[in-house]
């Protein structure tokens, strides 16, 4: 019977304890499914979303894990699950033999070995196509109403759109201004007669995002992965509210005795949403620590699975 998550929020674990708990997953039922977020987890958060780069140590860990997963799929599975588009995150990670799930899992594809990230074939649910135009219109209209300020980065992602304000001098004022512009666009019907009403608001670390209502986020995506992969154990790493959704799904599955697993939150900043800390089993101070943990897991798995 798998254990459930403690009711209290965990404290920061020293490195030896973090390493022990993560490596302990190799002693639980296989396959082990590893699901990692990108921004704030594999890569440090940057003021400019276009400047974000994966840490070299994180890339090395993913390369080894991807090779092991390809050689021993009955023991190990691997996915990168990001709010970015699948092509964007694949282009920043650039590791083959990984499943890249973008837009919180609304799209994705597996990058073959020795294939350029730009060649990733991305699959999107056809039922979401009707949201593509309203999302693009919403993004463009909000930017225009705000006068296209330097601090705003509008990320149009097919059926969804994200408004990043990490560079705003006053984040609280930025949220108010973005929300006011969104409300004005909705009142004017600029996103189409029904399209805007079918987009649901989500807020993350200095980003406001609109996704198709009912399409689900990382929690729903993790459920689909668990149903498809049938893992015995799951390791999830993330840092934002969308990752907390996945953490809670993992906790539910463990409570029901369906699998073992660990939810790892990468803290890294005072702006980390409290629900992320509350839903996690283990806290790591920064993406560098996440990379170190993944490298330790990859090396230990390499010894175990190739012995």
Give the domains, in start order, of the chain with CATH numbers. 15-125+230-306 (3.40.50.1000), 126-212 (3.30.70.1020)
Say if residue 229's pLDDT is above 70.
yes
Residue 24, CA distances (Å) to 99, 114, 297 in order = 24, 32, 9
Mean of the per-residue pLDDT values of the chain: 91
Instruction: Tell me the pLDDT tens digit for each residue of 158-182.
Output: 999 999 999 999 999 999 999 999 9
> What is the arithmetic mean of pLDDT over 59-68?
98
Residues of the chain with pLDDT > 90: what percent?
80
> What is the arithmetic mean of pLDDT over 52-64?
97
Say if residue 5's pLDDT is above 50.
no
Instruction: Tell me the pLDDT tens digit for each residue of 10-50.
Output: 444 557 888 899 999 999 999 999 999 999 999 999 989 99
- CA nearest neighbour of 54 among 67, 40, 42: 42
Pairing status of strand 123-124 against strand 98-102: unpaired
Say if residue 3's pLDDT is above 90.
no
d(CA 304, CA 15): 21
> What is the arithmetic mean of pLDDT over 267-295?
89
Helix runs in the chain, H state only:
15-23, 56-71, 86-93, 132-145, 171-188, 218-229, 241-255, 274-279, 287-306
Instruction: Tell me the pLDDT tens digit for each residue of 176-211.
Output: 999 999 999 887 766 555 557 789 999 998 999 999
> What is the arithmetic mean of pLDDT over 230-238?
98
Which position has the higher pLDDT, 53 or 11?
53
Which position has the higher pLDDT, 125 or 291?
291
């Amino acid at each position: 019977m798998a254990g459930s998550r403690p009711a209290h929020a965990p404290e920061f674990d020293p490195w030896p304890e973090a390493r022990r708990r993560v490596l302990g997953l190799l002693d639980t039922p296989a396959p082990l499914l590893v699901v990692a977020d990108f921004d704030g987890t594999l890569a440090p958060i940057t003021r400019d979303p276009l400047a974000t780069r994966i840490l070299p140590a994180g890339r090395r860990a993913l390369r080894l894990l991807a090779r092991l997963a390809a050689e021993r799929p009955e023991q190990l599975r691997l996915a990168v699950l990001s709010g970015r588009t699948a092509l964007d995150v694949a282009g920043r990670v650039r590791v083959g033999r990984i499943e890249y799930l973008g837009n919180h899992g609304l799209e994705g594809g597996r990058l073959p070995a020795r294939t350029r990230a730009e060649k990733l074939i991305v699959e999107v649910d056809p039922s979401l196509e009707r949201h593509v135009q309203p999302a693009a219109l919403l993004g463009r209209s909000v930017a225009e109403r705000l006068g296209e300020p330097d601090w705003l980065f509008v990320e149009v992602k097919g059926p969804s759109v994200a408004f990043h304000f990490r560079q705003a001098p006053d984040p609280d004022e930025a949220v108010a201004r973005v929300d006011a512009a969104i409300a004005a666009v909705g009142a004017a019907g600029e996103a189409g007669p029904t399209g805007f009403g079918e987009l649901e608001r989500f807020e993350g670390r200095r980003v406001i995002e609109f996704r198709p209502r009912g399409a689900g986020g990382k929690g729903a995506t993790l459920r689909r992965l668990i149903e498809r992969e049938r893992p015995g154990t799951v390791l999830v790493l993330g840092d934002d509210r969308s990752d907390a959704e996945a953490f809670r799904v993992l906790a539910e599955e463990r409570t029901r005795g369906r699998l073992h697993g660990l939810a790892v939150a990468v803290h890294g900043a005072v702006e980390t949403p409290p629900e992320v800390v509350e839903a996690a089993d283990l806290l790591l101070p920064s993406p560098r620590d996440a990379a170190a943990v993944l490298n330790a897991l990859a090396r230990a798995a390499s010894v175990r699975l190739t012995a």
